[in-house]
Amino acid sequence: MAVLVARQGRELQRYSPNTGGRIVVGCIPYRVRGDDGELEVLVITSQKGHGMMFPKGGWEVDESMDEAARREALEEAGVLGDTEPVLGFWHYQSRRYVDQTYEGFMFPLRVADELHQWPEMASRKRTWATVQQVMDGCPHWWMREALEKLVAGTRSFSPLSDYHRFIISRNEAHERFTRESIGSSNHVVPLSLSRCSGRPALGQSMSGRPYRRETIDGSMLPVLS
């Protein structure tokens, strides 16, 4: 039986040329109840078992945004599904590193399957909640705003800069390339599940050499000593 392992380390992490902080991708897993049509969303706790949030994590260089969103949903919440058009992006301060500003992108993810076992099940709890419960209980303002956009049924976000249009268009091109590659090959390992374990130490490449951090526009930031 295959064992799913969450990715560790940040040597493949993308960084924003605007803020210098991490680019984070998350999703709002949701379902529509058949009896009354009410929207329910899946929330998780932090790794310490507290709080209420949606799956999120760093966007890495070997995956598209969509793949990152689905990977985080699998690793942190144990659900599979299809992502829908991006809800928007937000700048927010890191709680752990208070001097860093992260750039967060959020996608809706319509849940197709809930797994009984998943990589972070020992450290996180998951539960289905109503929209109002999340609006009252989620401490992350930008996640609440993303949920409001999902409920409103709009995919617009005021207004997207040329930089962010570039990010999203590059992501869509990556998705098309991946689909075409899968369609023309007998066996392709999904990018979102590659290198899930055996990651090198932070600050090293797979070969053990110091790495440089790649930003979304392809530029490289210097190694931090």
Per-residue pLDDT of the chain (225 residues; tens, 9 = 90+): 455 555 565 789 999 998 999 999 999 999 998 888 889 999 999 988 788 999 999 999 999 999 999 999 999 999 999 999 999 999 999 888 888 999 999 999 999 999 999 999 999 999 999 999 999 999 999 999 999 999 998 444 444 566 666 666 666 666 666 556 555 444 333 333 333 333 333 333 333 433 333 344 444 443 333
Is 192 part of a structural domain of the chain?
Answer: no
Q: How does pLDDT run across 159-187, given as a tens digit for each residue?
A: 456 666 666 666 666 666 655 655 544 43
- CATH number of residue 152's parent domain: 3.90.79.10
Is 203 part of a structural domain of the chain?
Answer: no
Q: How many domains does the chain have?
A: 1
Is 102 part of a structural domain of the chain?
Answer: yes
**Domain residues for 157?**
14-179
Contact between 43 and 129 (Cβ < 8 Å):
yes
Is 220 part of a structural domain of the chain?
Answer: no
CA distance linking residue 189 with residue 92, whole number of Å? 34
